[in-house]
Structures are given as structure tokens and as C-alpha cells.
Structure 1
Amino acid sequence: MQLLLVHSDYLEYEVRAKTRVAEPIPELEKRERVEEVLVVFTAVEREDEKDASGVVERATEEVVSVFKKVGAERVVLYPYAHLSSELASPGRSVEILKGLEQALGSRGVEVRRAPFGWYKSFSLRCKGHPLSELSRKIRAPAREEGGAVKKKSKALEAEEKAESQFFFLDEEGGLVRPKDFDFGKERRERENLRRFFVYESEKRRAVDKVPPHVELMKRLEIADYEPSSDPGNLRFYPKGKLIKSLLEDFVRDSIAGYGAAEVETPIMYSTTHPSLKDYLERFPARQYSVAGKEKKGQEKRQEKRQEKRQEKRQEKVGQADLFLRFAACFGQFLMAKDASISYKHLPFRIFELASSFRREKRGELVGLRRLRKFTMPDMHTFCRDIPEALQEFKKQYELCIRVLEGIGFSAKDYEVAIRFTKEFYEEAYEEAGGEEEKEEEGGANKDFVAELARTAGKPVLVEQWDERFFYFVLKFEFNFVDALGKASALSTVQIDVENAERYGIKFVTADGEERSPIILHCSPSGAIERCIYALLEKAYLETEKAGAGGEGKGVLPMLPLWLAPTQLRIIPVAERHLEYVEEVLPLLSKIRVDVDDREETVSKKIRDAGREWIPFVAVVGDREVERKTLSVTVRSSGAKGKGTREEVSAAALKERILAAGLRGKPFRGLVGSYRLSERAKFVGA
């Protein structure tokens, strides 16, 4: 079933003529006008006939969900065959539409159904807010043999049934419904917020177009798909590995500087571990399974003597009993369970740069945006109670802002989402006793959430759940919106009120009692690979070619200087100038410098340096050798294909480059030979 949902001021239609499959209708129903309506244009498909009740159930949930979110007063089901080329038979279509009409009515929705099989003239006026035009593809639930619907995990069922509402939270802390939110004269700047909201509310994650960063990651020799591996597992070339390692170094230093101790935990765990069984339900079918059971000694000896029976015995081993971690939570929680923790140690922080594995849906995998194998900085903070957790949450919110700024993102480059349960937002948690415990300060938690928006300095998107279906009561994300309008979370912090008890993590209070702590999950940067994706997309968006109507800034694309694989390229005009270049190189320590000594023209070498986004390019000819200088083009100060050029000494150039963004950042040396003639090419050779 295909649905097109349009929230309208009114819908007006009039029957003109019948087709050969027209259903009989009374004269009064041949003309209608309905106001404040959600118009649901509907095409029933051939596939729907196999499980009509399942399709009706799913469609009802979708329509009711949108109906509530947009605040419509009534629904009109409008048969619209043009939405599909695989239509169901007319008779079955009418049956299914009537079933959907009845199901909506039973949910308390005022619903009308336009007649099926008639040519009709119609007009409507779409309200034009971000949720006013939505589309949905409805499929029946998967069923087991015998017709029973396949059971889902309790967590997934709860998540699907959970009702949530979106709002915008302004800088003053006021909640505004999406249809009432005023983008105002700053609409252009807030267009990203609108696109983010549409992406979140529609929940359409499938890739329908390749984003620009995919071509860039290949051309810049950062990363590429690995055909011999599982989709979503990429290969990183030397330049990409360098960028990735530098980001890891920076995030590691930032978290350690915040006061967290680095640990290392296994990448695989038993599915039968008591604490992990329930946790696995949170991410059903997303983990990689690994066969971990060993066969008994007698069976092994029998296998050696009877190799022909090997396959049969392997089938009896059973399903895999290990899984690859999809987060670092498991290992860190199991480690914390065995630790002796006092109230004096709190807040207690540990972290890991974890290689994690998550079997994301294949249709959602693309480039560096969504992977199945990724590197996630994961910090967990153990707090004595909610008030302390809120204090820590605010500090980590600010930590995330600093980390993203250090990587190369300003507040204008991402949109803030804050998500919480209704109970958390409307009530202040009571602090538990304890003579050493701090008294709760402030009022309701809504004041705390409002303060987060004020810190962001711009409106933020809010999602409020009616009930808690997951382990957290409050979380935020900083989301990057790319050139195609797809959003990806970078930084995030969550307040977890469930897992300490699940894993048996305790701390000793001042009274000598054991109590379960509150846990904060924090990733200050998000996945390292996703940071590279966002940097590439940001560079694309800032070029003069990006965006409809010339929305780009007209600057030359580049990575932050500290992440550039080559920060300075020296181009000798002729071979006789290489001797001077070799004399200059020792004066440029702590900078990644290479030399283009290939037998190419100077103009081609300069073009190639531009295609590699090299920030500083120095040309050395007779004049520079005589004056002991370098003629340098600075990419960051150029626009529309040209950088600015200046003549400086090697010492002055080094100081210029260090001051331009290298101080305070981690440094790693050049990868491969500094001479391009001795360097292998991985792409486009």
C-alpha cells in the first residue's frame, strides 16, 4: 500500500463519471467539502491482498500517528491509483479501504472515504508546514509458517508502539508545535533545522541518492568500499588512516583531559550471559554472530577418523553463541560491576575508543555516513543520583561543543535534538538521602532542558515520549545535515536509569549502604568515520557549486589544516631547484611536507595539489633560490578557484602554518615517501 498524506485547510471533490469498476454511491456522496483534514491518498497494491488485515493494521498505525502529530480534526481516505503500478484488484481494493476506514473509526478518528472507481475533480489547500506532505509505504508484518506474526523483541515492540511528539524549543525555553513554528526572516539560516525536522519525523533512512562525500572520499584517497567484505566495512587508504588516527588522538586527549580513564574491553561476548540477554533485545538482529562453541574431545577424534560426517556434525553445533559488540557498554559495565566504587569516587568516568559492529539495514548503508564497522569513542560516567547526573550532563554537553569545535565544526554546522520522556520533563526527580549528598538545586527538569537550548544559542528540535521504552530518560544529539537533507548524529549524551541494576553495578554510600548509580553514556564526537563524512559534506556545501540557487559560500573546499594529509607541498620548477628544497625541509619540522618531484609541468603539479585540497603550496624557482624564500599560495584565503600568493622565508612560513591551526592539536608525520615520484597511488593510477 502506498500513502500520500497531505494536511490541508480543506479538501473539495466532485464525482464526474464512473469507470467500469465504480462502486455504487448515493447522490449525497457525489460532492463533498471537508475542512481541517488529513487527506490520505491511497493506492492498494497486489502484494496487500496476501495479508489484508496486516496491511490495514500497519496503515492504521501510520495514519493515526501522523493525524496526531499534525493536529488534524478528521481524515479523508482518497483512492489514488497513480501512486503505484502494481495495483490490487478493484474488489479487494475496496474491501481493504473499507477495512482501513473501520479501523480508523474504531480508534476514535472522524473518517470519510471518497468513492472508489469514479473520475473526480478535486482541489485542496495544503497547510505548508514541515509535516504537511508525507509519504508512506505500508507492508504487512512478516509471518511464520502457520500464519502467526513473527514475534519481535519486547523492546522493539515497545519502541514501535511508543507515541512521541515533536516540538521546537526556542532560546527562551518555550515549546512550539511544528505547525506554529515561525522560521521568520532568518529562514535561510534555519532551513537546516526544518530539513532536520522533516528527516526525523518522516523516519525515512533508506538511501535514494549517493551523497557527494562518497566521490570525495575516493578521489582524495581517504576510503573506499571493500568488495570482498560485508557491506558497510570500508578500506582506509594511508591518507584516510592518518586522518582517522588524528581524530582518534584528539578525541582521546579531550576525554582523558575531562577526567576519564581509558580502558580496553573484548570485542565479542556470550549471548547467554545473564546481563547481556536482555540488553540484546534492545538491538534485535543488529549484531554479528560468531560460532563460539567447541566440540568435545571424543567428537573431535571421531571427526578425524570420519571426515565424511563433518558437515552433519557441524550442523549439530547449534546457533552461534557469541556476538560482536555493537557498543562498548557491555565491557565497561561488566568491568564496573567488579570494581569497588565509593561515593567519594563519583562521578567515576571510564572510556574506550571502541571498534564496534552493527548490522545496519543494507538499504541504509552509504559511504562514511552509516557503516557496519565503525570506531566509536564511548565514555560512561557513574553518578550517585539524578541531580549529580544532570550536572554532569550539562558539563558533557559543553564538552561535546568543544570537541566538535576542535575538529572543525561550529554551532552553525549542526542541529541540536533533545529527547526525553514526558515524566522526566514535567517532574523534578527527588534526590535520595545521604549526609554527604548535595541538595537538589533548581526547579523542574524543564528548566534544565531550556538551559540546554540557551547554551546552543538557537532553536532546537525536541522529541517527547509519552512513556519510557528504552533505558534513558534524557538524551541529546548534535546532528549534521548533509547536502541531500539526510541527518546523522555526531555527539550524544544519555542519562541511563536502567543498566546499573541490570549489570549489578553498585557504589557504597556515606552510610555504608550499596546503591545503584545513574549512568551517563557519552560520545563527544560520535563515530570517527562519521566525523570524516561530515567534514567532507561540509566542504562540499561551502563551495560555490553547492546548493540550489548558489547557496554555497564560494570558497575552495578543504579539510581543517591539522587533518590535511599534506599540509605543505613544495613544487620545484626544475630538477636543479631540488637541492635548495632539501635544504629547506629540516626548517619545516612538525609540518607534513611533501615534494612534487615528478616529471610533470609546473601547472599540472599545481592543479594536482588543488585537487588534493592541499592548504599551502610553495613553488621554488631561480628567484626563490636566490632570495632564500618560497612563493606560497594559501588555499584558505582564496575563492572561485584561486588562492592568494605571497613570498616568505621558510621560518616565517612555518610560523604561519603552526599559527593557522596546528597548535594544541595532535600531530603525526607524513605517510609514505615525501617525494611524490616514490609514492604509490591508490585511486586513479
Structure 2
Amino acid sequence: MQLLLIHSDYIEYEVKKSTPVAEEIEESFKTGRLDEALTAFIAVEKIDESSVDEVICKAVAEIRNIAGQVKAENVMVYPYAHLSSDLSSPKVAISVLKGIEKELAGDFNVKRAPFGWYKAFKVSCKGHPLSELSRSIVPEGKSPSCGESVICESEKPEVVSEALKAESTAKSYWHVLTPDGELHDAENFDFTGHENLGKFVDYEISKKRAVERAPPHVELMRRLEIADYEPGSDSGNMRYYPKGRLMKSLLESYVLDESAKTGAMEVETPLMYDMNHPTLKKYLDRFPARQYSIESDKRHMFLRFAACFGQFLMNHDMTISYKNLPMKMIEMTRYSFRKEQRGELVGLRRLRAFTMPDMHSLCTDMEQAISQFDDQYNMCISVLDKIGIKLDDFEVAIRFTRDFYNENKDFITNLARTVNKPVLIEMWDTRFFYFVLKFEFNFVDALAKASALSTVQIDVENAERYDINYIDSNGEANRPVILHCSPSGAIERCIYGLLEKEAMKAEAGGVPILPLWLSPTQVRIIPIAEEHMEFAQQVSEQLNCRVDIDDRSDTVGKRVREAGREWIPYVVVIGDQEVESGNINVTIRAESEPKKPVKVSMTPAQLNARVLAEVEGMPYKGLPLAKMVSMRPKFL
């Protein structure tokens, strides 16, 4: 069972339409409202069927516990299937929800929203540290009475850094910085013409991270056979099909190539570290993230959430001269691990296991660090642009201490001038973390939820913490200033951003398409009949790209529509005319409109030249699946 617990000013719902599994309800059950309520959004899972009474008892214990802490007397039990991809049968789900309602009724004023109905709902989250909590409940085959004490997974101690605790209590001052250098109060800024920035500002200030429904990319990642949930693993750990693995591999290669151009050296470091290592323990408490912890040979270990530890420990053992600085090292972390809260996990947007390019630069002093920060800021803009996420697609957040701003106003203003649009500013009176300055490029999706992509941070703590030195021109040891940089952000989030961007494009009446260099199939050839297969093969052999042949016996119309559903950039239909003339008619998706395909006649050599020009300078890998579409398995 998955629980999302929201302490709210109010929760209200209204049923709109029944689904095939809807429970029968009376008229009075079609609307409901509770004020000053703890709302329990619940997804009953397949595993719960093994011990229904146990999961009811554990859920009741958890809800009672949190209700007691927030002093809530009203409880709304709300079925919410979006919290899981491995749901129980409707019959079991209804029995569990009713069981929870019944057990809570003696202690609270309880309402239950109906199961199996599409509902409109409004909830006003209170916004304190306990107002948004998620819990996982796993049956262990026991059948306690609900008066007994039960221990579920959610009650095991969670490793939470001091920085994460500080983040929840830190006093932030929110502003909007315009390219002319003016700081405006964020809540009073006129966002006309900058509506996306307005959504981002609201997301950041409200801190409402939980999702109410699945964003569009979740359906797309499955339909396009890129990725899917993995029910056999922990939530937030995904499976990637051949097309998704290809896209990830290409993105990884591209970011590493671009980093190498700046002089970054690629390294590899361990996935797990000793929780009690004195240096690492101190750093853990300075990084705002939740960790996975494991036991190994009686040692308390944690899975890395970035490549910082390994690179810093490596730096400590190195002999570094001022002549080597700025010195950059990068690792493509497969994987980084952060135990994000369950209610925040959705698709590729927020994961517990993700691939992140993590680059660190050692600089002689703050002046060099600021210069490198500016260079990497511009590099990140370029990297995202080539990936397909343009400057207009993301919003900029710049975060710093008040002292750093007062000393570097012109530099920070120039960051806004570089993107030539207003940016969100978060300022602190006191430095809570290891950095004095950071930026993020944030993609805002179809649900108005923001996700950070590229980032750079100026770190003023860890050189001393890890005893990292360089020898200056006088032969004396000095501490470097360290930059943390992820040129693209998590690789999975890049795919998420591209899918969300194209979903919004389609919603606005456009034709969705992936960048050609990332498209699993770049050209699809469709022979009309068996006698056209030989020429189709000849054409495919003249194309130096990922080309496949749809040799299935379906009608041409169906195969063309299927190519459209797969977002194939170039589609070639081969018939008698093409065989006789040697020319081919190519449907160009990037130039087409809905129901208005653009078709151009050209030679195979011309199509090949066009494709190569479009992907010039980008990484390339061959087809991830069989060339003949009839030979491919279905993953879903």
C-alpha cells in the first residue's frame, strides 16, 4: 500500500463520471468536504492481497500517528491509484478502504471518497514540515488486531541529513531579477509575458512537490517503449527498453564529449560509502537529500547520491599544482541514489535511482571560480539546446547568500542578461549549505511542476573538509574553491523534459517529434508489397543512419499511422513508381502539421545528406532493435 498524507485547511471532491470498476454510491456520497483535515490518499497494491487485515491495521496505525502529531480530528480516506503501478483488484481495494474507514471512525470524524469514480477535488495543503508525508506499507503475513502495536516499513529510521532539515526551516527571501539589474518582490511581480516563470515561482515558494495525477510523459514513455515502472524493485527504480537505453546512451556520450572539450577528465568511483567515515558523515549533513542506507560486513553504508565523495577523496590523494588549475573531473554516475518521498515519485521526473553527469572543478580562488561559473553557465545553455531543450523551455533559479550578492551584484545581474529574461532569486541571510552561489535551469511541465536540469554551485567548504590542497607558485599549500556542475542534470530528466515539451506541443496543435539524433528510428521504409522489398533494402543500404523496414503484412495506411505514433522523423513508402524512377517520396515529420503531412520527392542520396547534416556533430549508435519491424517483440 502507498499512502500520501496531506494535512490541509480543507479537502473537497465532486464525482464526475464512473469507471467500469466504480462502486455503487448514494447521491449524498457524490460530494464531500472536510475542513482542518488529514487527507489519506491511498493506493492499494497487489501485494496487499496477501494480508488484507494486516495492511488495514498498519495503515490505521500510521494515520492515527500522523493525525496525532498534527492534531487533526477530521480524516478523509481518498482512493488514489496514481501512487502505484501495481494495483490490487478493485474488490480488495474497496474492502481495504472500507476497513480503514471503519477502524478510524471511533477516534475521528471520517469521510471516504468513493472508489472507481473520476472526481474533481481541491485540497489546500498547510505547508508545515509534517503537512506532506508519504508512507509505504508492506504486509508481512501477520494478522494483528488493530489495537496491537504494528511496525511497518515507514516506521524504520530514515537517514535524513541536517541540511535537509535546515532546508525545511531556512528563511528564504524570494525575488525576481530582471536583466536591467532590478530586484522585484516575487509575490508582487507582474508575470505577464512570463507565465511559465510565474508557474515556477509558485511551485518553488509553495513547495508542493506531490503530484495529483500522472503527467503526460508517463503515458508517452510507455507507448514509445522508452521506459516503464519496475514492480520488482523499489519505487523510483525504472526499467529501460532498447529504445530508452539507446536514448540514454546517446545523451550520456554527448554530455561527456562536451565536458571533455572543456578539459574535464573522466573518472569512476564507488557506489557505496561508509556512513561513519568522519569526512563523509560531515558532508552528508551538508547535502539536502535522503539516503539509502545498507548494512555490509557490520558496517553502516550508504549509496551515493552524487559523485562528490569519490572525486573529493581522489583529490585528497593527488599532488596538484597551481599550473593544473582550473582542474576538472567528471563521472557519469550510473547510478546516483536519493530516497525521494513516495508521493513525489512519478515517471522519469523524479527518481530514486538516476544517471547524473557530475563534474567538479578545482579553482585557485574565488575570482577564478566565478569566471569558471560563468563559462559553465553558458556551457549548460548550449548543452540543453543541442539536447532539444531551448532557452524558452526552462526557467532560471539563482540562489545565494546576501553577502555574496552584495559583493557580486554585477556578475549575478549578468547571468540574467545572458538569458535575457527575468530569473527567480532565492536569497538567505545565513549560509545553510556548503555553497554560496548556485543556479539551476528548471523545466516546468504540463502539471506546472518544476524539475531542475543543469546546475553549477560554488562550494566553499569541502576543500577543507576533505583536506584538498594545491601548491601555489611560492611552493605553499592552499585550499582550492570547488565548483559542482551537472551540465545537463539527470539524463532521465532530459528525456522527461523532451517528452513533456512535445506533449504540450501536441496539445497546442503541433506535431510531436524527438530530435533526430535521439530518435531510435530516424528513417522508416514501408514497402507496399513483397515485390517492393528488394528496392526498399537497396534504399536502406544507401542511408547512413538508423533506418528500419516495416515488412509487416498490415495495410500501408496502418503502417504509416504506426510510424506516426512512434514519431518517426522520416517515412518513405516504396511502390511501383519509386522502383521505376529511383526517386523516393519522403514524409518529413518536422515540417508537417496534424493531418497535413509534408511529402518531398528526393533521391536516397539526398535524404542521406539531409539526415547527416541534421545530426552533424552529435553522437551516433546503430538501431537498438531488429531492422525488420516484423522481427521485433512487443514490450508492452
TM-score (norm 1): 0.72
Matched residue type, 2:479:
S
1:395, 1:678 → 2: CA distance?
48
Shift in alpha-carbon separation, 1:577–1:49, aligned structure 2, 3 A:
closer
Corresponding residue number in structure 2 for 1:500: 463
Q: Percent identity?
A: 55
1:210, 1:45 → 2: CA distance?
22
Shift in alpha-carbon separation, 1:376–1:633, aligned structure 2, 3 A:
same
Matched-pair contact (CA < 8 Å) for 2:8–2:124:
no
Corresponding residue number in structure 1 for 2:99: none
Corresponding residue number in structure 2 for 1:581: 536
Stretch of structure 1 that moved more, 604-613 or 281-290: 281-290
Alignment of 1:219-618 (within 5 A): 219-283=223-287, 286-293=290-297, 317=298, 320-355=299-334, 356-426=336-406, 428=407, 445-543=408-506, 546=507, 552=508, 554-589=509-544, 591-618=545-572
Matched residue type, 2:535:
Y
Shift in alpha-carbon separation, 1:176–1:323, aligned structure 2, 3 A:
same
1:649 matches 2:608: no
Matched residue type, 2:402:
K
After superposition, the C-alpha distances for 1:539-564 in whole angstroms (9 at most, x for unaligned) are: 01111xx2xxxxx2x22111011100
Matched residue type, 1:170:
T
* Alpha-carbon offset, residue 373 of structure 1: 0.7
2:124, 2:472 → 1: CA distance?
52
Matched-pair contact (CA < 8 Å) for 2:455–2:489:
yes
TM-score (norm 2): 0.77
Matched-pair contact (CA < 8 Å) for 1:155–1:281:
yes
Match among 5, 8, 11 for residue 2 of structure 1: 8
Stretch of structure 1 that moved more, 670-679 or 593-602: 670-679
SS of alignment partner, residue 232 of structure 1: coil
1:180, 1:632 → 2: CA distance?
52
Matched-pair contact (CA < 8 Å) for 1:596–1:677:
yes
Shift in alpha-carbon separation, 1:278–1:578, aligned structure 2, 3 A:
same
2:242, 2:402 → 1: CA distance?
48
Corresponding residue number in structure 2 for 1:26: none
Shift in alpha-carbon separation, 1:662–1:86, aligned structure 2, 3 A:
farther
* Alpha-carbon offset, residue 221 of structure 1: 0.4
Matched residue type, 1:459:
P
Could you tell me which runs of 5 or more consecutive residues in structure 2 were left unpaired when the two chains were aligned: 1-6, 11-33, 40-61, 72-103, 110-122, 134-156
Corresponding residue number in structure 1 for 2:169: 161
Shift in alpha-carbon separation, 1:347–1:285, aligned structure 2, 3 A:
closer
Match among 25, 40, 43 for residue 36 of structure 2: 43
Shift in alpha-carbon separation, 1:335–1:622, aligned structure 2, 3 A:
same
Shift in alpha-carbon separation, 1:486–1:644, aligned structure 2, 3 A:
same
Matched-pair contact (CA < 8 Å) for 2:167–2:288:
no
Matched residue type, 1:275:
T
Matched-pair contact (CA < 8 Å) for 1:635–1:642:
no
Matched-pair contact (CA < 8 Å) for 1:246–1:666:
yes
Shift in alpha-carbon separation, 1:240–1:285, aligned structure 2, 3 A:
closer
1:213 matches 2:217: yes
SS of alignment partner, residue 361 of structure 2: strand
Shift in alpha-carbon separation, 1:87–1:482, aligned structure 2, 3 A:
farther
Shift in alpha-carbon separation, 1:49–1:411, aligned structure 2, 3 A:
same
Matched residue type, 2:563:
A
Shift in alpha-carbon separation, 1:469–1:504, aligned structure 2, 3 A:
same
Matched-pair contact (CA < 8 Å) for 2:161–2:289:
no
Match among 203, 220, 224 for residue 199 of structure 1: 203
Matched-pair contact (CA < 8 Å) for 2:127–2:207:
no
1:50, 1:351 → 2: CA distance?
45
Corresponding residue number in structure 2 for 1:680: 633
Matched-pair contact (CA < 8 Å) for 1:45–1:88:
no
SS of alignment partner, residue 672 of structure 1: coil
1:412, 1:397 → 2: CA distance?
16
2:9, 2:171 → 1: CA distance?
20
Matched-pair contact (CA < 8 Å) for 1:48–1:139:
no
* Alpha-carbon offset, residue 271 of structure 1: 1.4
Shift in alpha-carbon separation, 1:673–1:42, aligned structure 2, 3 A:
closer
Could you tell me which runs of 5 or more consecutive residues in structure 1 were left unpaired when the two chains were aligned: 5-40, 57-84, 91-132, 143-148, 294-316, 429-444, 547-551
Shift in alpha-carbon separation, 1:331–1:153, aligned structure 2, 3 A:
closer
Alignment of 1:53-92 (within 5 A): 55=70
1:136 matches 2:136: no
CA RMSD of aligned residues (A): 2.9
1:610, 1:44 → 2: CA distance?
47
* Alpha-carbon offset, residue 363 of structure 1: 1.1
Corresponding residue number in structure 2 for 1:115: none
Matched-pair contact (CA < 8 Å) for 1:44–1:88:
no
Corresponding residue number in structure 1 for 2:593: 639
Shift in alpha-carbon separation, 1:154–1:628, aligned structure 2, 3 A:
closer
SS of alignment partner, residue 397 of structure 2: strand
2:464, 2:9 → 1: CA distance?
43
Matched-pair contact (CA < 8 Å) for 1:166–1:177:
yes
Shift in alpha-carbon separation, 1:51–1:636, aligned structure 2, 3 A:
closer
After superposition, the C-alpha distances for 1:11-64 in whole angstroms (9 at most, x for unaligned) are: xxxxxxxxxxxxxxxxxxxxxxxxxxxxxx9737799998999659xxxxxxxx
Shift in alpha-carbon separation, 1:360–1:140, aligned structure 2, 3 A:
closer
Matched-pair contact (CA < 8 Å) for 1:271–1:322:
yes
SS of alignment partner, residue 173 of structure 2: strand
Matched-pair contact (CA < 8 Å) for 1:337–1:504:
yes
After superposition, the C-alpha distances for 1:222-271 in whole angstroms (9 at most, x for unaligned) are: 00011101111111000110011011111110001111010111111111
Alignment of 1:93-172 (within 5 A): 135-136=125-126, 138=128, 154-172=162-180
Shift in alpha-carbon separation, 1:256–1:87, aligned structure 2, 3 A:
farther
Matched-pair contact (CA < 8 Å) for 1:493–1:523:
yes
* Alpha-carbon offset, residue 158 of structure 1: 3.0
